[in-house]
Amino acid sequence: MPYQGEYRKKTKSGFKTKTEANIWATEAESKKISNTLSQSNGLIIDMFEEWYLIFKEPHLETRSKTWYITTLTVMRHYWPNVKLAEITSMMFQQLINDYGKDHVLSSVSHVKNMISAFVKYAVDEDYIVKDFSRNIKTHSAKASKDKSLKFLENNELEYLIKTLADNEATTSHMILTAIYSGARYSEVAGLTKDDFDFINNTISINKAWQADDRAFKVTKTKSSNRVVDMPLEFMNKAVTWSFGSRYAFEGNNDIPPTNEGANKQLARYLDKGDCKIITFHGLRHTHASYLLANDIAIQYVSERLGHSDVNITLSVYAHLLQKKRHIETNKTIKLLSNL
């Protein structure tokens, strides 16, 4: 726009000489380095909140929103009056170290990843020059829940299936579906009767149930949209169930039973059988662990779970795969010894 009777673009083509353009570029870069750009002078907590509200909040389910709010709360505690341009890698690492003193590793990772995502955005928008989130290590002094407690052993799984076989409770049907499909609670609750293909013996997972908002939503990731092959025995049983008009699994209030309700039902039956108590999500771990323990290829297990990358499956079930590695090592050594 005209300024003092002169129009000059901030591009090389708008300058009279190459030298003039280089001078402008040098001054602009100097402003970035000296942190004099207007956005870099903003408080990081204000900028993070604005970024969240515009780019993240409209597309998230309630539980995911909670993690962003938690992260913002952490930032307000550690950086209440700190400008974006003032944050250094050392300050970020110190925040992670302190937060990790009384939080489990998964919680620390959530906070780190969300702040890192914002920082990358800030760099892309030229608000800051350097990505101070690079090379930050997660740290936690609080032990996470033992992974072995998150899935059932074979005898416990067999007991649960046998116990629920003729049970007509809606939550029992959901539990059986989760056992055989490996689907998440939100995916099982989001199923409709049309998602059950009794000709091809498959279940189509193409949406999820948002309990907090009482509405359908998209699945967790694009790869979560999948068709899962199911055992004939399960489908022969499922075809006899009375599905709801809108949801396959409807409670007395015409919506799917809550995750808490399903957890209570699951705990009751596990307790009766003197089994390890796990959550509904633990059925997903049980499904994957059972397949991996029986030499099903991890690539297929990853696809069945709807993971976007096989590396996610590898990281989640590293403890189980490590046990199998010892077995495979012994088999390999024995095989090679016969040469």
Across the range 55-82, mean pLDDT stands at 89
Q: What is the pLDDT of residues 183-200, one digit of tens each?
A: 999 999 999 999 999 999
CATH of the domain at 174: 1.10.443.10
Structure token pair of residue 80:
């209440």
Report the number of distinct structural domains present in the chain: 3
Looking at 34-104, list the stretches that DSSP marks H as alpha helix, in order from N- to C-terminal side. 44-51, 62-78, 89-99
Helix, strand, or coil (residue 208): strand
pLDDT at 121: 95
* Same domain (yes/no): 175, 247: yes
- Supply the pLDDT for residue 65: 86
Q: Which residues pair with 205 in a beta bridge?
A: 226
Do 293 and 154 fall within a single domain?
A: yes
Do 291 and 254 sit in the same domain of this protein?
yes
Please name which of 209, 287, 281 lies closest in space to residue 250, comparing C-alpha atoms: 209
Q: How far is CA 253 from CA 86, 201, 244, 270, in A?
A: 53, 29, 11, 26
Q: Within this chain, do residues 54 and 15 fall inside the same structural domain, yes or no?
A: no
Q: At 53, which CATH number? A: 1.10.150.130
Mean pLDDT of the region 294-321: 87
Query: Are 244 and 272 within one domain?
Result: yes
Domain hosting residue 5, numbered range: 1-26
- Residues 169 and 264 grouped into a single domain: yes
How high is the pLDDT of residue 339? 82
Counting every residue written for the chain, the total comes to 339
Which pLDDT value is given to residue 162? 96
Long-range contacts of residues 48-57, Cβ cutoff 8 Å, at least 24 apart? 48/72, 48/75, 48/115, 48/118, 51/118, 51/121, 52/118, 55/121
* Same domain for 47 and 12: no
Task: State the CB neighbour count (10 A cutoff) for residue 18.
Answer: 9
4 and 52 assigned to the same domain: no
Q: Are residues 155 and 289 in the same domain?
A: yes
Tell me how many degrees the CA angle 272-276-280 measures, rounded to the nearest 5.
90
Is residue 97 domain-shared with residue 187, that is, in the same domain? no
- DSSP single-letter state for residue 325: H
- Tens digits of residue pLDDT in 279-289: 999 999 999 99
